[in-house]
Amino acid sequence: MLITQPYNPRSMSLFRECASLFVIGFPGTVPDREVLQLIDEGVGGVILFKRNVESAAQVAQLVRSLKAHAARPLLASIDQEGGRVARLRGAPFTSLPPMRQLGLTGDAALVERAGRLLALEVRALGFDVDFAPVLDVDTNPANPVIGDRSFHRDPAEVARLGVALARGLEAGGVGSCAKHFPGHGDTSQDSHLQLPSLPHALERLRRVELLPFAAYAKAGLASVMTAHVIFDALDPGVPATMSTPVMDGLLRKELGFQGVVVSDDLEMKAISEHFSVERAVVDGVIAGVDCFLVCHHPGVQRRAIGALVAAVESGRVSRARLDEAKARMAALARRFVHGPEDLLGTLGTPAHAALAQGLSLDTFVGRDPTEV
């Protein structure tokens, strides 16, 4: 059901400002009324999933139509990591191996070329940001959600190779997003389903989990995604997404990260079964999150935006904090967000084939990891 409510000119203007900090998902392979209305009302971007994908041509047309409807910069994003997290599959896309397989090569130039390949393929369909690389360190063999999405169990290798992939993406004109800060690799629970916590001391976090994100921040790359994980040494009982000591104290002040901070999806059970979306947004923006993913339900998306509007109107969220988040989103848009384009013809070209050479999953299947 389409949910609407009246706004006077002042509150509608504020609604648009707050909506610009949200990236939303929607069902189906064509835009529905709800997503188009939220775009009309100022939402900052969209994220596509497998449910939105039928073919390369269909996705390219879908993204073009959304951007044309917006008639302003609209951020189009996707999770295209390689391995098991790839929304775009089958010809003409390259089936990349898991990042663990690329990591075992130790070849930063190869990994950077994989980033350029990802950029070419997602840009061809109109995407501006790819939520990659994973900078979680693969320290827990029982981790149900990270595992082979991580480059390595050595944090220095994750840092070196993760930055290489991100640089490749950004050299190809697509914003990167390092995830999941400050580290999801050692959990034994999946934050899509539960609220994980880690008891590690801050010294251990600096030595292992934080090292790749420190390298990413130093490299001046585009964005970082939060983890819906509690770090007891930093803020007991509070997920990193909603934590000022984690987001402002650790990421901004200690690591010096200047780019956009993006929340993981607020409809994941780590948040939705423990906190209201209203609290998650307000606490999150106060903590330092600049952009919120709300990936499924228009009613939840409207509640989330409305909570931020109310918090700004009441003074709980300062105008300065709202303006800071808007400025970071605007800077990201200037660097990476493109209007409607027709780049589908770049797929299958000799340049595309050259980037893909030696990077397909078939190249790695059956190889002994110690020989890679």
- The residues that are catalytic are 192, 264
Letter for the amino acid at 162?
G
CA–CA separation, 53 and 91 (whole Å): 13
Q: Are 328 and 46 in contact (CB under 8 A)?
A: no
CA–CA distance from 57 to each of 15, 45, 345, 350 (Å)?
34, 20, 10, 19
CB 275 within 8 A of CB 300: no
Task: Give Cα 97 distance to the centre of its chain.
Answer: 20
What tokens does 207 get?
A: 């030595």
DSSP state of 180: E
Q: Are 180 and 145 in contact (CB under 8 A)?
A: no
User: For 326-364, b where at least 16 C-beta lie within 10 A, e where not — what string?
Assistant: bebbeebbeebbbebeeebeebeeeebeebbeebeeebb
DSSP-based three-state secondary structure for 260: strand
How would you classify the pairing of strands 80-82 and 22-24?
A: unpaired
Assess contact for 52 and 62: CB atoms under 8 A.
Answer: yes
Q: Please report where in the chains the tokens 């384009």 appear, as a residue.
A: 341
**Residues in contact with 232: Cβ distance below 8 Å, sequence separation at least 6, in sequence order:** 197, 198, 199, 200
Please tell me the distance from the alpha carbon of residue 113 to that of residue 108, in angstroms, as a whole number: 9
If we measure between CA atoms, which residue out of 297, 217, 196 comes closest to residue 261?
217
Residue 256 Rama label (left phi>0; alpha psi -120 to 50; beta): left
Q: Which residues pair with 130 in a beta bridge?
A: 78
- Cα 145 to the center of its chain, rounded Å: 15
